[in-house]
């Protein structure tokens, strides 16, 4: 059980990032639309133009809350390095939004963005395995740390594209990891990791009203890479990496389906999007036979409208998140 001061810090962190993101997003919507930074919502019959790169607001809320945590002086090194890694990952996302980075360039730049995390995580080469305890990985842990950052960022980037999908799933997974952290980590040792995840959770909740169906703004790659890297950084700070993998199973299944069907890392814009019928029902992409993914698989079983599909994907995330929490509770015994 955490002490009242730690609980207070978590609440303030969530509220601070929520307020900043919630306030920043409306003017960002107008600014992006007036600047022509917009995209077509291909999953709507009317194909509306929607503002892009809303991840700026998510990052703004997250960064503000992290700066607040840094001023508290609680494990300052972890907070500063974590903010640096997420900032660099968000910059990679912004570059991809503007320049359309290659299929190898984006994960490679994401890997380099995560290298700084070795400064704080590299000295603790232990992996906590659910129900089994900790295992020492030695020097093998060092290259795994930045790989986890870029893998998490790109998994979220691939598992996106529908109104409210990446924000809702991200919030579910982040909340679950906060609970896992509270169950497994001592209040004094895990405060920094908890604050990282709390900052992300507040930003996601603040952005959700504008991104839910019908969306007024898209996250863009700056948002998805920010979300994925922040989840990875928070999980690594708390030493609950495998619990994060379990909580994010829908992301991993989706990413695995893409890689196994295509046979290599590819850019999603090279393939056709999920199709929409005249009455608003979604059907699998015309590229589904060569590039499989979780959402198209669900639609291949039964066509449905976008809100129903997103709720189905949220449900899968809730199930995996609940399993992660259950394993944490059992591991703590």
| Nearest-angstrom CA–CA distance, 94 and 116 | 19
177: closest CA among 324, 331, 326, 11? Answer: 324
Q: Which domain holds residue 259?
A: 4-331
> What is the distance, to the nearest Å, from the Cα of residue 135 to the centroid of all Cα atoms in its chain?
26
| Nearest-angstrom CA–CA distance, 124 and 116 | 14
Of the spans 34-48, 126-140, 217-231, 258-272, which averages the highest pLDDT?
Answer: 217-231
In tens, the pLDDT along 156-174 reads: 999 999 999 999 999 999 9
Higher pLDDT, 81 or 273: 81
Q: List residues bridging with 217 in a β-sheet.
A: 51
What pLDDT shows up at residue 269?
A: 56
Contact criterion met (CB below 8 Å) for 23 and 189: no
Lowest-pLDDT choice from 40-54, 218-232, 283-297, 319-333: 283-297
Q: Please give the model's pTM, rounded to 2 decimal places.
A: 0.95
What pLDDT shows up at residue 191?
A: 87
If you average pLDDT over every residue of the chain, what do you get? 92
172: closest CA among 21, 317, 25, 27? Answer: 317
Task: Compute how many other C-beta atoms are within 10 angstroms of the C-beta atom of residue 277.
Answer: 11
In tens, the pLDDT along 280-311 reads: 999 998 888 788 899 999 999 999 999 999 99
Task: Compute how many other C-beta atoms are within 10 angstroms of the C-beta atom of residue 127.
Answer: 17
222 class by beta-carbon count within 10 Å (0-12 exposed, 13-18 middle, 19+ buried): buried
Residue 188: which pLDDT band, with cuts at 50, 70 and 90? Answer: very low
Residue 266: which pLDDT band, with cuts at 50, 70 and 90? Answer: low
Query: Got the DSSP string for 205-255?
Result: HHHHHHHSSSPSB--HHHHHHHHHHHHHHHHHHHT-HHHHHHHTHHHHHHH
162: closest CA among 5, 299, 41? Answer: 41
Higher pLDDT, 1 or 184: 184
Q: Calculate mean pLDDT across residues 307-318.
A: 98
| Nearest-angstrom CA–CA distance, 163 and 218 | 8
What pLDDT shows up at residue 271?
A: 64
What pLDDT shows up at residue 187?
A: 47
Q: What total number of domains does the chain contain?
A: 1
**DSSP 3-state of 106:** helix
In tens, the pLDDT along 93-125 reads: 999 999 988 888 999 999 999 999 998 886 788
| Residues with Cβ within 8 Å of residue 155, at least 6 apart in sequence | 228, 248, 251, 252, 254, 255
């Amino acid at each position: 059980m955490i002490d009242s001061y730690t609980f207070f810090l978590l609440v303030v962190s969530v509220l601070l990032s929520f307020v900043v993101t919630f306030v920043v997003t409306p003017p960002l919507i107008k600014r992006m639309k007036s600047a022509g930074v917009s995209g077509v919502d291909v999953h709507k019959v009317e194909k509306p133009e929607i503002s892009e790169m809303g991840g700026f607001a998510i990052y703004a809320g997250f960064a503000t809350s992290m700066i607040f945590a840094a001023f508290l002086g609680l494990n300052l090194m972890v907070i500063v390095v974590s903010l640096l890694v997420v900032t660099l990952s968000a910059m990679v996302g912004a570059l991809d939004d503007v320049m359309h980075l290659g299929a190898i360039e984006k994960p490679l730049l994401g890997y380099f963005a995560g290298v700084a995390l070795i400064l704080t995580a590299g000295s603790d080469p232990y992996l906590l395995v659910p129900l089994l305890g900790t295992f020492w990985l030695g020097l093998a842990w060092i290259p795994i740390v930045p790989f986890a950052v870029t893998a998490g960022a790109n998994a979220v980037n691939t598992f996106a594209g529908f109104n409210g999908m990446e924000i809702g799933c991200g919030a579910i997974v982040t909340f679950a990891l906060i609970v896992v952290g509270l169950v497994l980590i001592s209040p004094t040792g895990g405060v920094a990791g908890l604050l990282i995840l709390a900052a992300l959770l507040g930003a996601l909740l603040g952005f959700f009203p504008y991104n839910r169906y019908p969306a007024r703004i898209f996250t863009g790659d700056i948002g998805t890479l920010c979300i994925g890297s922040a989840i990875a950084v928070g999980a690594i700070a708390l030493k609950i990496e495998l619990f994060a993998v379990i909580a994010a199973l829908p992301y991993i299944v989706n990413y695995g389906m893409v890689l196994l069907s295509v046979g290599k890392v590819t850019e999603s814009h090279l393939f056709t999007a999920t199709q929409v019928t005249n009455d608003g029902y979604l059907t699998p992409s015309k590229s589904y036979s060569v590039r499989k993914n979780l959402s198209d698989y669900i639609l291949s079983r039964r066509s449905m409208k976008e809100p129903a599909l997103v709720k189905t994907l949220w449900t899968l995330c809730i199930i995996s998140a609940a399993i992660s929490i259950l394993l944490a509770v059992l591991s703590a015994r």
